[in-house]
Amino acid sequence: MDFHPDPSLASFRQEVRQFLQTQVPADLKGQPRSTRSTREQVMRWQKVLNAHGWGAPYWAKKDGGTGWSVPQILVFDDECAAAGTPTQDPFVQKLLGPVLNEFATPEQKAEHMPAVFNGERLWCQGFSEPGSGSDLASLRTRAELDGDHYVVNGQKIWTSYAHESDWIFLLVRTNPEVKKQAGISFLLVDMKTPGITVRPIRSIDDSHHLNETFFDNVRVPAKNLVGAEGAGWSITKFLLNNEHATTADLPVQKRYMQQLRQLATTQRVGGELLIDQPEFALKLARLDAEVQAIGMMVQRVAAMEQEHNPASHTLGSMLKIRGTELQQKISECLVEALGDYGAVAYPDPHEDLDPAQPLLPLQEVARGMANNMFFHRASTIYGGTSEVQRSIIAKMLFQL
Amino acid sequence: MDFNLNSEQQLLQDSVRRYVDKAYSFEARTALVNAKQGGSTGNWAIFAENGWLMAALPEEYGGLGGSLIDTALIAQELGRGLVIEPYLGCAVLAAQTLAAGGTAAQKERLLPLLADGSQRIALAYSEPASRGMPETVSLRAERDANGYVLQGRKSLVLGAVGAQQFIVSAQVSGAKDITLLLVDANSAGLKRQAMPLHDGTWVEELTFDGVQVGADNVLNGGLAALRASLAHGIVTQCAELVGAMEKTIELTAEYLKTRQQFGVAIGNFQALQHRIADMAAEMEVARSMLHAALASVENDDDATRQKTLSAAKALVCRAAKFVCGQGIQLHGGIGMTEEYQVGHYYKRAIVADLLLGGSDRHEAACAAALQSELRAR
């Protein structure tokens, strides 16, 4: 063990910082970090990154990525969040991309990779179905071979950003006769194909990122099958195993802590600053400590991932549970720090405001905070619920 | 940063674990606790022989020149075994106070004796009203022709039983800083009262009634030296608790696989699987915080370090109380018995939380630091 900071990481941080300062247009910076930026911003940001050779920060060099180590990736994410850049398309960067690198044919790579790098094609993920959330093996969307096309029928749900995506990667049942897991295949589908209907689901954070997606006799070229027919399950396991160190979304947590500090010194309670209230100071101190501990846990998982240590999976599950619980606590604390105004349903942060309308009290500060809090109720559900993670830990760590 | 043990660290961990497995089986430990001595001189001699007492002392004074990481590695293994020898009190707190605040002559004379185990010194800094925080000192040291005369009381001195000397924090009239003095354990006017703690360790309450101390017994450092040594103490305690949590979880996992209820091993029940997964996650968050504390001692300025250490003390102690408490819960009735190991880890966690400042006090210190930082903006 050695807790001296790695000097090469410090110089890497400088390099990233310099890129952000000198080569990123001002209007792509200074924004609060959210789960995903607008389609237009994601695409522009991707082009800026790609022009700099950083189009795929999470991938190996041989796949056209930067070949950065996991600790370097964390530094990159951290600096981007601090600078307030848009996000990248997480589905293609963290989930689909690695799958294509591993399993796609040269033709499939030639078809999709240039568009990925250049930010011309955004993706969504078609895994969950009504009735099969965490139990993916029970999915029922069918794909039947008809000549050189698959005909897809069925329904997907919780398809984040389907309404603004160009393509979807889809799990379908190609063989109902075999064992549940063995009958599943992995398909790439153009969202413009006739027969696809996207219906929005409004979520409790008052915004639209979720959808139901319906497939009605959708004809998909058979060449869009990734891997062999029936290999969908093992591809999915590969895909879901990809992300450990970034699961706590630490840059977002740090950003919220900054906002909390801001409120602590600007909001007043009974003639004194919020920070002078002992109970608030204590709460902030506890959150600070937890962010620090989770931050170090992220470093540990990153180091393990870098060494391909299998223990990174269980520690990653623990990080997922605790990191997402912390997101909930911090985002709740922000709303509480607003006092009475925490209860106000301010306009949705994505909504264009009528400049003629007077601002509501505290609107400039508080808009979006409650939305974040409500959104983070999903953190302990998506990417494998906390309950699923606990079962994984019990099984893998204790053989229970 | 590198989270893997290097070969020397691995050797150190292995050697302490081997000793704990051999000499500190639960039966052997119980016998030792029942002897009401707070450890054995034989064990202390082995500690010394193996170099554990000198691991983090400077080479020029008979130490091995290691770092706080070595101390943490030793402590973690001692925590796994619920070891009751006064490692924290004598080998860490007193030795590090001397290393940080002793005069060259004092260090030259005493540190080698601490390193080879031939002497024991204990740190008497805590008072009834200080609740573990070093800045509250009401014990008076009045100057006289021969040096100082001490009047007052020190509470819960860790490792005092069997110590030949104490390092005592005192307030000298008119002095701004507190003063640290070496006091002979047999001094006239010094009353010592030994008492056991819940975890089988022993402490002493010291009453100073006109105790005479020579002027050359004054250390160079004051509060700053004390804080430096308490930093080592807090990290030691956090590491011990991580070890205690590890062992509690191992024992519990084993129990879940063997204990049958309703015709199956109770580990088949999801409620219990999820509970032990939460215990493991809690431990790993606490271990991460221990690492953050080690990193802070290495890299940060004094104010940041104090804050991180306080945060670590509170977070790790709370985690240990949760994990060890749940260890009892998952064992059911057997976990409540004195003759079964798991309940003793909970006792250790409770004692650790109360010593060196409780979780509430340390969190309040963090909150106060945050208040002054933010107000200054």
Asked whether the CA dihedral B367, B368, B373, B376 is positive or negative, the reply is positive
Least confident range of A54-68, A274-288, A339-353, B270-284: A339-353
Q: Are residues A214 and A260 in the same domain?
A: no
Kindly identify which residue of chain B lies nearest to residue A274, measuring between CA atoms: B371
In this model, does residue A32 exceed pLDDT 80? no
ipTM: 0.92
Q: Which chain B residues are Cβ-neighbours of A400 within 8 angstroms? A: 253, 256-257, 267-268, 272-273, 276
B363–A275 C-beta distance less than 8 A: no
Question: Chains A, B: CB contacts under 8 A, how many?
Answer: 155
What average pLDDT does the structure give for chain A?
Answer: 94
pTM of the full predicted structure?
0.94
Q: CATH 1.20.140.10 residue ranges in chain B?
A: 223-376
Whether A110 maps to a domain, the answer reads: no
Strands (E), A158-300: 167-173, 184-190, 196-201, 210-221, 225-226, 268-269, 272-273
Residue A134: pLDDT band (50, 70, 90) is confident
Whether A265 maps to a domain, the answer reads: yes
**Tell me, what's the pLDDT at A36?**
79
Topology of domain B122-217, per CATH?
Answer: Butyryl-CoA Dehydrogenase, subunit A; domain 2 (2.40.110)
Q: Which chain A residues are Cβ-neighbours of B294 within 8 angstroms? A: 1, 3
Strands (E), chain A: 123-126, 142-146, 149-157, 167-173, 184-190, 196-201, 210-221, 225-226, 268-269, 272-273
Are residues A104 and A112 in contact, defined by beta-carbon separation less than 8 angstroms? yes
- Terminal CA-to-CA distance of chain B, rounded, Å? 32
State the average pLDDT over residues A94-117: 96
Whether A94 maps to a domain, the answer reads: no
State the average pLDDT over residues A87-101: 94
Last residue within a domain, chosen from A211, A231, A251: A231
State the average pLDDT over residues A316-321: 96
Mutate to test the interface with A, among B68, B76, B235, B284 (most CBs of A within 10 A): B284
Count of domains for chain A? 3
**Tell me, what's the pLDDT at A201?**
96
Last residue within a domain, chosen from A164, A198, A231: A231
Q: Are residues A251 and A369 in the same domain?
A: yes
Q: What is the percent of chain A with per-residue pLDDT over 70, rounded to a whole number?
A: 99
Q: Count Cα atoms within 13 angstroms, Cβ side, for A317.
A: 24
Task: Tell me how close the Cα of B97 comes to any Cα of chain A, in angstroms.
Answer: 23
3-state secondary structure of A324: helix
Task: Tell me how close the Cα of B251 comes to any Cα of chain A, in angstroms.
Answer: 11
In this model, does residue A351 exceed pLDDT 90? no
* Residue in this structure with the two tokens 């408490």, named with its chain if needed: B325
Q: Are residues A55 and A30 in the same domain?
A: yes
Q: Architecture of domain B7-119 in CATH?
A: Orthogonal Bundle (1.10)
Q: Which chain B residues are Cβ-neighbours of A391 within 8 angstroms? A: 270, 273-274, 277
Residue-wise pLDDT tens for chain B (377 aa)? 899 999 999 999 999 999 999 999 999 999 999 999 999 999 999 999 999 999 999 999 999 999 999 999 999 999 999 999 999 999 999 999 999 999 999 999 999 999 999 999 999 999 999 998 999 999 999 999 999 999 999 999 999 999 999 999 999 999 999 999 999 999 999 999 999 999 999 999 999 999 999 999 999 999 999 999 999 999 999 999 999 999 999 999 999 999 999 999 999 999 999 999 999 999 999 999 999 999 999 999 999 999 999 999 999 999 999 999 999 999 999 999 999 999 999 999 999 999 999 999 999 999 999 999 999 87
Kindly identify which residue of chain A lies nearest to residue B376, measuring between CA atoms: A265
Q: Which chain A residues are Cβ-neighbours of B274 within 8 angstroms? A: 387, 390-391, 394
Q: Which chain A residues are Cβ-neighbours of B288 within 8 angstroms? A: 293-297, 300
- Terminal CA-to-CA distance of chain A, rounded, Å? 31
Q: Which chain B residues are Cβ-neighbours of A303 within 8 angstroms? A: 1-4
Q: Which chain A residues are Cβ-neighbours of B257 within 8 angstroms? A: 398-400
Q: How far is CA B182 from CA B103, B170, B308, in A?
A: 11, 11, 30
**Tell me, what's the pLDDT at A348?**
83
**Tell me, what's the pLDDT at A246?**
84
Q: How far is CA B305 from CA A41, A252, B241, B297, B301, in A?
A: 40, 24, 20, 6, 6
| Cα-trace Rg, chain B | 21
**Tell me, what's the pLDDT at B47?**
97
Are residues A202 and A78 in contact, defined by beta-carbon separation less than 8 angstroms? no
Residue A85 per-residue DSSP state:
P
Q: Are residues A214 and A259 in the same domain?
A: no
A265–B273 C-beta distance less than 8 A: no
Task: Tell me how close the Cα of A381 comes to any Cα of chain B, in angstroms.
Answer: 16
Q: Count Cα atoms within 13 angstroms, Cβ side, for B34.
A: 8
Q: Are residues A318 and A358 in the same domain?
A: yes
CATH of domain B223-376: 1.20.140.10
Mutate to test the interface with B, among A321, A390, A395 (most CBs of B within 10 A): A390
Last residue within a domain, chosen from A231, A260, A283: A231
What letter represents residue B74's amino acid?
A: I
Rounded distance, CA A110 to CA A122, Å?
16
Nearest to A124 by CA among A217, A222, A22, A196: A196
Kindly identify which residue of chain A lies nearest to residue B297, measuring between CA atoms: A3
User: What is the dihedral angle through the alpha carbons of A131, A136, A142, A148, rounded to the nearest 10 degrees?
Assistant: 160
In this model, does residue A233 exceed pLDDT 90? yes
Nearest to A266 by CA among B373, B375, B372, B364: B375
Q: Are residues A364 and A249 in the same domain?
A: yes
Whether A114 maps to a domain, the answer reads: no
Nearest to A396 by CA among A315, A292, A334, A328: A315
3-state secondary structure of A119: coil
A390–B292 C-beta distance less than 8 A: no
Task: Tell me how close the Cα of B273 comes to any Cα of chain A, in angstroms.
Answer: 5
Task: Tell me how close the Cα of A164 comes to any Cα of chain B, in angstroms.
Answer: 37
What pLDDT digit, counting tens, does each position of A287-299 carry?
999 999 999 999 9
Instruction: Map A126-139 to HEC letters.
Output: ECCECCECCCHHHC
In this model, does residue A34 exceed pLDDT 70? no
Q: Are residues A227 and A249 in the same domain?
A: no
Backbone torsions φ then ψ of A6, nearest 5 degrees: -80, 115
Q: How far is CA A364 from CA A164, A360, A369, in A?
A: 27, 8, 11
- At residue A23's C-alpha, the angle toward residues A18 and A29, to 5°, is 90
**Tell me, what's the pLDDT at A278?**
95
In this model, does residue A350 exceed pLDDT 80? no
What pLDDT digit, counting tens, does each position of A11-21 carry?
999 999 999 99
State the average pLDDT over residues A36-47: 93
Q: CATH 1.10.540.10 residue ranges in chain B?
A: 7-119
Q: Residue A215: which CATH number?
A: 2.40.110.10
Residue A377: pLDDT band (50, 70, 90) is very high
Task: Tell me how close the Cα of B298 comes to any Cα of chain A, in angstroms.
Answer: 7
What pLDDT digit, counting tens, does each position of A247-259 carry?
888 998 999 999 9
Look up residue B251 and give its two tokens: 């024992």
| Ramachandran sector of residue B28 (left: φ over 0; alpha: ψ -120 to 50; beta: rest) | alpha
Are residues A337 and A260 in contact, defined by beta-carbon separation less than 8 angstroms? yes
Q: Residue A251: which CATH number?
A: 1.20.140.10
Mutate to test the interface with A, among B288, B375, B377 (most CBs of A within 10 A): B288
Q: Are residues A266 and A373 in the same domain?
A: yes
A322–B285 C-beta distance less than 8 A: yes
Nearest to A301 by CA among B184, A293, A282: A293
Residue A197 per-residue DSSP state:
E
State the average pLDDT over residues A333-358: 91
Nearest to B40 by CA among B177, B212, B200: B200
Q: CATH 2.40.110.10 residue ranges in chain B?
A: 122-217
Look up the domain containing A290 and give its range: 243-399
Q: Which chain B residues are Cβ-neighbours of A5 within 8 angstroms? A: 1, 299
A278–B367 C-beta distance less than 8 A: yes
B280–A318 C-beta distance less than 8 A: yes
In this model, does residue A102 exceed pLDDT 70? yes
